[in-house]
Structure 1
Amino acid sequence: MTDQPTSPQNPSGTPAARPRVAVLFGGRSSEHSVSCVTAAGVLGAIDKDKYDVVPVGIARDGSWTLVDDDPAQWSMTAGKLPEVTAGTEPVMLAGRNGGTELLVAAEGQAPRSLGRIDVVLPLLHGPFGEDGTLQGLLELADVRYVGAGVLASAVGMDKHYMKVVFEDAGLNVGPYQVITDRQWHQDAEAALDRVAGLGFPVFVKPARAGSSMGITKVADRTGLRAAVEAAREHDPKVIVEAGILGREIEVAVLQGRGSEESRASLPGEIAVQPGDHDFYDFEAKYVDGGAAALSCPADLPAEITERVRELAAEAFDAVGGEGLSRVDFFYTPDGELVINEINTMPGFTPISMYPQMWAKSGIPYSELIDELIYLALNRKTGLR
């Protein structure tokens, strides 16, 4: 992919010298630190000769601030999780001079402009970042951004409605039950009875969280209530999925250029190593470096490899995906492919599954960043 990203023109009609990219990370969700680690990978790899990069952190209280662009500050070192703290230079997006500018609005001072922003790279995971809320803000600001739009982000974040969309698209979805906040308060025992009807084991999850936050594998009825309460610490709506015996297969999807079809990587397989992790939980993903391994391409029959790539692209299109997504499946012993979920802003460090699968499929990390920025810069703002 040798095409250069094209920047929108300045009000004078002349093209900007370099696209200005606001790298946005942190956020209010429980995945705040995961977002920082993702940003560390991108800040270390993005071509700063090609792009004018402006790193913006979002603290846990929701405030935006200018931050250091040193990747080491946002990396996970010795198991310590990085965090954005509210700074002395709060920033905001504002429509000015026919475009969208980034303003510094320190208390007691007149706002000053940092210049026009051509595209936002929102590296946020979880609610208030990956769920359509931030995407709605960027739409209102009339600024281009990498990744899925408002509806696709919201559907991709909510595992309940995600499954509804997948079922309507004819994809094979495993058995599940949903417990809303009202249902839990009205009759928790009835909710637990419904869940127990799935059989055991089950996986109890917050409906709108990621990075395996708040997930519990439950082997029998006695552990259900505690697992639901643990999930509710992250989200009042809980989804419970029947355990599916099968291999965990993932596919990275990349939006096609223009009217071209969505692109699917070679499939990868996650294998959790024997030890302290019963499933692919947060510790296995981000802390215990030797807990899991990715095999790509996964050792699958040729026809299954092609089919899972087709299904991943179908899932991406079903939710109205843009930019990037990772789609996860189970491959059962009887040859079935059962879709588990789609992640519209997957982990994006150099060792994350999404970039690794594309690297194995012929697109290295830095080139993948270029392609995502290209896609964002070359789609119109507003309805599309």
Structure 2
Amino acid sequence: SLSDQKSIGTIDVVFPIVHGTGGEDGSLQGLLKTMNIAFVGPGVIGSALCIDKEVTKRILNEAGIANSAFSSYLKSERHLIDFETTKAKLGIPMYIKPPNLGSSVGISKVTTEAEFYQAIDLALQFDRKVLIEQNIVGREIECAVMGNGDVKASPMGEVVTNQDSHNFYDYSAKYTDSNGSVTVIPAELDAVTQDKIREIAIKTYQALCCEGMSRVDVFLTPNGDIYVNEVNTLPGFTDISMYPKLWGAAGISYSAVISQLLQLALDRHEEENEVKTTF
């Protein structure tokens, strides 16, 4: 029973490390907020907006931030999804995914009608709606962002997928195939492009109500166009993960990054507790 358990005492601040459903979609953040406990990373709204990639894209469009063209359907609208209509809008290849998952789970890159409908059904196993995205040809660049009101962006890193074994940066390339991809930090980019990506990353972070930390991933096309791919509100945080390594490229140590994030969480919590909730 609960009465047999020992109290851990007062919790000053929580650093969430729970990835996926319930951990980075605003649910855990809502629980912590209800318990009046400070926590690292975006709050309920920012977490919820970024986990749903369809909603993310709609907000980016409203903010004038470039991202890939898309179509989306509820599971109840499965009968309305048509390959030829979608191909005319988005071209091929296209990507089909469950919008509320991460780690490339349930994502397919498709070029044929048969692959298209198989991918739709696969995505709908993991979500109540499906997102279909235009393919963007370009380099995959990642940028770490940190801050509450005063926001800063890190040097960039690049993910280079092994095209001999993976046709995109899928789950295997990320986690199970040691030769699936390599990361280059800092990415080889000219100063003007770096400044543009930082500006877009910060604008994206703010448009989606992020606080504390997030990682903004973009595509950089051969002609220099920049398209936001997604925002990860709870990036990996081992000492070899991209987020702390990006700040390492700026001369900020792993422990210093953690200290700054904890302080940002405490600062936000203090500000929130100053807000009147009764009258």
TM-score, normalized by length of structure 1? Answer: 0.68
- 1:320 aligns to 2:220 (yes or no): no
Secondary structure in structure 1 of the residue aligned to 2:15: strand
Residue by residue, what CA displacement relative to the aligned partner does 1:115-141 show, whole Å, maximum 9, x if unpaired?
A: 111111111222211011111111111
Q: CA RMSD in A?
A: 1.7
Percent identity of equivalent pairs: 40
Structure 2 counterpart SS, 1:265: strand
Q: Secondary structure at the match of 2:9?
A: strand
2:136 matched to which residue of 1?
244
The one-character-per-residue Cα deviations of 1:136-195 (angstroms, maximum 9, x if unpaired) are: 1111111100110011000000001101111111101211111211211xx24x444443
SS in 2 for 1:377: helix
- Partner of residue 9, structure 2: 115
The answer on whether the counterparts of 1:167 and 1:173 sit within 8 Å (CA) in structure 2 is yes
SS at the partner of 1:239?
Answer: strand
Q: Which residue of 1 aligns with 2:77?
A: 183
C-alpha deviation, 1:378, in angstroms:
2.0
Shift of 1:314: 0.6
Tell me if structure 2 keeps the 8 A contact 1:177–1:194: no
Q: Which moved more, 1:246-255 or 1:358-367?
A: 358-367
Distance between the aligned counterparts of 1:297 and 1:147, measured in 2? 24
Q: Which residue of 2 aligns with 1:126?
A: 20
* Aligned: 1:271 with 2:154: no
What is the alpha-carbon distance in structure 2 between the residues aligned to residue 287 and residue 275 of structure 1?
Answer: 16
Whether contact under 8 Å (1:155, 1:161) holds in the other structure is yes
Q: Which has the higher contact order (CA 8 A, sep 6+)?
A: 2
Partner of 2:38: 144
| Alignment equivalent of 2:123, drawn from 231, 248, 253 | 231
The structure with the larger Rg is 1
- SS for the counterpart of 1:379 is helix
Find the aligned partners of 1:266 and 1:112 in 2 and give their Cα distance.
Answer: 44
Aligned to 1:329, which of 207, 212, 218?
218
1:163 partner letter: K
Give 1:313's aligned amino acid.
I
Residues 1:291 and 2:183 are matched in the alignment = no
Cα distance between partner residues in 2 of 1:193 and 1:274 = 28
Matches within 5 A, 1:349-368: 349-368=238-257
Distance 1:174 1:237 in 2: 18
Look up the equivalent residue of 1:281 and give its one-letter code: D
Give 2:123's aligned amino acid.
A
Question: For the residues of structure 2 that align with 1:196 and 1:274, how far apart are their CA atoms?
Answer: 24
Does residue 215 (structure 1) correspond to residue 215 (structure 2)? The answer is no
Q: Deviations 1:288-327 (Å, cap 9, x if unpaired)?
A: 2222111122112221111101110110011111111111
Structure 1 residues 90-137: Cα deviation after superposition (integer angstroms, max 9, x where no partner): xxxxxxxxxxxxxxx54xx45642211111111122221101111111
Q: Which amino acid aligns with 1:236?
A: R
Query: How far does residue 357 in structure 1 lie from its aligned partner after superposition?
Result: 1.1
Structure that is richer in helix per residue:
2
Which secondary structure does the structure 1 equivalent of 2:183 belong to?
Answer: strand
**Contact 1:149-1:322 at 8 Å conserved across structures:** yes
Give the partner amino acid of 1:273. N
Q: Do structure 1's residue 369 and structure 2's residue 258 form an aligned pair?
A: yes
Aligned amino acid, residue 116 of structure 1: T
* Structure 2: distance between partners of 1:351 and 1:212: 20
Report 1:154-169 matches (<5 A). Answer: 154-169=48-63
Q: Provide structure 1 residue ranges, at least 5 long, that are not aligned to the other structure.
A: 1-104
- Alignment-mate amino acid for residue 57 of structure 2: K
Residue 75 of structure 1: aligned partner: none
Judge conservation of contact 1:272–1:292 (CA < 8 Å) in 2.
yes
For the 8 Å contact 1:248–1:329, the answer to whether it is kept is yes
1:179–1:191 contact (8 Å) kept in structure 2: no
Question: Secondary structure of 2:25's match?
Answer: coil
- Answering whether residue 227 of structure 2 is matched by residue 338 of structure 1, we say yes
The separation in 2 between residues aligned to 1:149 and 1:365, in whole angstroms, is 23
What is the match of residue 135 of structure 1? Answer: 29
Following the alignment from structure 1 to structure 2, what is the Cα–Cα distance between the partners of residues 288 and 145? 33
- For 1:213, the aligned partner's letter is V
CA contact (8 A) 1:175 1:242 kept: yes
1:370 to 1:223, Cα distance in 2 relative to 1, 3 A: same
- Letter in structure 2 aligned against 1:339: V
2:77 and 2:22 map into 1 onto residues whose CA distance is: 24
Aligned-partner SS, 2:132: strand
